[in-house]
Structure 1
Amino acid sequence: MENQINYSTEKKENLKKPTVFNGKPTAAFIAASWTALLVGMISYCVGLWNAEMMLNEKGYYFVILLFGLFSVISVQKAVRDKQEGIAVTDIYYGISWFVTIASIVLLIIGLWNADLWLSEKGFYAMSFLLSLFAAIAVQKNTRDIKFLDENGAD
């Protein structure tokens, strides 16, 4: 019995330690995030500019885009603040999520009732969602870089 090897101890010793990740986004991810945001927003706005709809309808869809962008940035900030131990009130956190969902629901209702081709409805939905996702990524990158710059990380 003395010659037995304790494999569980040996395996633990041979495990490689994880690489330390400093959290700084790569230049490629930053560029991809900004590109996605600009492509989504510009596509959506060009689509509105060229759409054959009344000005008040164009305004409705444009305000929904702005509303959605602001709301997802607010959600990202609230989630990140909670994660970092920064005080976030439940009412602010809840409102941030509510307005994000409301912007998406308002777009769905508007597109459902719009006299547009299905391809146009899909175009607006996809460019809207691309813009929202990209805004979250850009906000995350911006916050990560600022945090690392203030704390002297590489």
Structure 2
Amino acid sequence: MNPQPQPSNAFIAASWVALLAGLAAFIIGLWNAAMPLNEKGYYFTVLMYGLFSAISLQKSVRDRLEGIPVTNIYYGLSWFSTVLCILLLTVGLWNATLTLSEKGFYAMSFLLSMFAAIAVQKNTRDSQRSGVAQ
């Protein structure tokens, strides 16, 4: 196993800023949205599920690359969950009575949050491997 270089402080900071910006934008958008509470709850749940599934997928893919055992069922579920949450958001936004700009806003902040969650998890793992706590 080759030692991984520690991520730079700039990349760590950028990852956290992207995660917080994506989450804040999505949640503030929901807070201010003129939609029923149950619809807001749906989008919030899809966001949280998406973050968890993206991190889980990143971890299982990386574990496999590093020779750490990952069962096929967990690996498959990680992929399925990530695709499912993107599909759930897409179907929800497709059927929502929102303007196209609002739909785009939610889609982009969702994808930014998912990407940033993966980057933060990667940075955390790389920092722990190099002996530096994050």
Q: For structure 1, list consecutive stretches of 5 or more residues without a partner in the other structure.
A: 1-20
Q: Which runs of 4+ in 1 moved over 3 A?
A: none
Instruction: Give the total of aligned pairs.
Output: 130
Instruction: Look up the match of 1:142.
Output: 124
Gaps of 5+ in 2: none
The residue that corresponds to 1:126 in the other structure is: 108
Q: Residues 1-154 of structure 1 correspond to what in structure 2 (within 5 A)?
A: 22-149=4-131
What is the CA-CA distance between 1:78 and the residue it aligns to? 0.2
Describe the shift of the 1:71–1:22 C-alpha distance in structure 2 as closer, same or farther (beyond 3 A): closer
* Separation of aligned partners in 1, 2:77 and 2:126: 24
Aligned sequence identity (%): 66
Larger C-alpha radius of gyration, 1 or 2?
A: 1
Instruction: Tell me how far 1:22 sits from its aligned partner.
Output: 4.7
TM-score w.r.t. length of structure 2: 0.95
Q: Which amino acid letter does the alignment assign opposite residue 141 of structure 1?
A: N
Higher RCO, Cα 8 Å, sep 6+ = 2
